[in-house]
Amino acid sequence: MQVMATPMLDLSNTITVKKISPIDAFQQERKILRQTQITQLNEMLLSNACEPTLKSLAQSRLLDILEWSEQELTVEGILSMRGFENPVVTVHDDAVNVLLHSETLTSQHAAIILDIVVTETGIPKGNVKIIPLK
């Protein structure tokens, strides 16, 4: 019985380059930055050489980052469910930025977005920026 060899294509050296949108790039960079910040803050909290005052500041900052991340995810999810394409939300101490794809942003859309952001973050609407991207 003869066995015929089937030629195989070796793809181990093939690199696929996928072009990503600026929003996707921003989200990836934010994720990496947050992971780095969280790792560094956790290292400070676990260090015996770190002063108690600094540990307290690190713990406070870590809690802020976790709260902001949760708020960003919640607002992005709600906006997505409301039909906004791939929104990006950044939350800080006293401000929120909302970036979203929109050819036209109506005052009704802006009111909906503001209501969602204020409800989920507690940030006053005067400190919320809605930035449409074309």
Residue with tokens 């204020």: 118
Give the dihedral sign, CA 14/18/24/29.
Answer: positive
Q: List CB contacts of 110: < 8 A, sequence separation 6 or more.
A: 130
Mean pLDDT value of segment 58-84 = 96
Report residue 33 CA to chain centroid gap.
Answer: 10
Strand partners, 89: 98
Residues 6+ apart with CB under 8 A from 82: 112, 116
Residue whose entry in the numeric block shows the structure tokens 């409301």:
82
Helix, strand or coil, per DSSP, at residue 51? coil
pLDDT in tens, 5-60: 556 655 666 666 678 888 888 999 999 999 999 999 999 999 999 999 999 999 99
Architecture of domain 38-133: Orthogonal Bundle (1.10)
Instruction: Report domain extents, the chain.
Output: 38-133
Which H helix or E strand runs over 81?
helix 52-81
Per residue in 102-132, pLDDT (tens digit) is 888 899 999 999 999 999 999 999 999 999 9
- Bridge-based pairing state of the strands 96-101 and 128-133: parallel
